[in-house]
Structure 1
Amino acid sequence: MTSSPPDPLTIVVTTPRSDTVEIRLDGEMDDETSYEVVDTVRQLLRTHRGVSRLELHCGPAMTGDPTGLAALLIIRRLAEADDVRLILTGRRPPPGYGPV
């Protein structure tokens, strides 16, 4: 049985309000693409100094993979360092952690 390659990761950035940056991740985050997400957040925080809210829509990109979780931790630390509130949306619980 062969597994299909992961969907490529697409990062879409919008600024719905002057104080908010929204990042939507579509595809799968892996070893390579997680660095791209962290770098995108780092650059956005540098260029959008008035932002107080960062909304990260993870969707299917976050599967509970350790690399993705490490990237989220780095992103949280970057946001905290700039006094930006990080909001995670679209997350799914890992298998076995849903309602009983």
Structure 2
Amino acid sequence: MTSSSPDPLTIVVTTPRSDTVEIRLDGEMDDETSYEVVDTVRQLLRAHRGVSRLELHCGPSVAGDPTGLAALLMIRRLAEADDVDLVLTGQAGL
């Protein structure tokens, strides 16, 4: 039996509208990579103060462990603190 290695995490950020930031995730969000996602969100919220909507799109291979779930909760707290609506879409596997 062989164990497959996790897919590396990719983070793609776009700003489709002046009030919206989109973050697309694909790959493994776990204790080794979740900090990167939280840090990306933190930096984006600082850089885009006029944003009222944050869309977090999780690709089909985004698999989470408890640390990934904790990262999503931290992202929600960051968004709420800045009065930004968080929309989570996709198949997060959590």
| TM-score clears 0.5 | yes
Q: Percent identity?
A: 90
Displacement of 1:62:
3.9
1:7 to 2:1 alignment: no
How many residues of Structure 1 are paired with residues of Structure 2 in the alignment?
Answer: 91
Q: Alpha carbons of 1:18 and 1:83: their partners in 2 closer, same or farther (altered >3 Å)?
A: same
- Normalised to the residue count of structure 2, the TM-score between the two structures is 0.91
Query: Could you say if the C-alpha distance between residues 41 and 61 of structure 1 is closer, same or farther in structure 2, counting changes exceeding 3 Å?
Result: farther
Task: State the 1:28 CA deviation.
Answer: 1.1
Further displaced range: 24-33 or 43-52: 24-33
Name stretches of at least 5 consecutive residues in structure 1 with no aligned partner.
Answer: 91-99
- Counterparts of residues 8-87 of structure 1 (less than 5 Å): 8-87=8-87
Contact 2:76 2:86 in 1 (8 A): yes
Supply the distance in 2 between the matched residues of 1:81 and 1:72 (Cα, whole angstroms). Answer: 14
Give me the whole-angstrom Cα distance separating, in 1, the residues matched to 2:61 and 2:75.
15
TM-score of the two chains, using structure 1 as the length reference: 0.86
Cα deviation, residue 30, structure 1: 1.3
Q: Which runs of 5+ in 2 are unaligned?
A: none
- Of Structure 1 and Structure 2, the greater strand share is in 2
Q: Distance in 2 between matches of 1:6 and 1:17?
A: 33
C-alpha RMSD over aligned residues: 2.2
Structure number having the greater helix percentage: 1
Shift of 1:4: 1.1
> 1:53-99 CA deviation, whole Å, 9 max, x = no partner?
00000123543421110000000000000000000010xxxxxxxxx
Larger gyration radius, structure 1 or structure 2? 1
Determine the C-alpha separation between the residues in 1 that align with 2:78 and 2:63.
22
Distance (whole Å) between structure 1 residues aligned to residue 84 and residue 58 of structure 2? 18
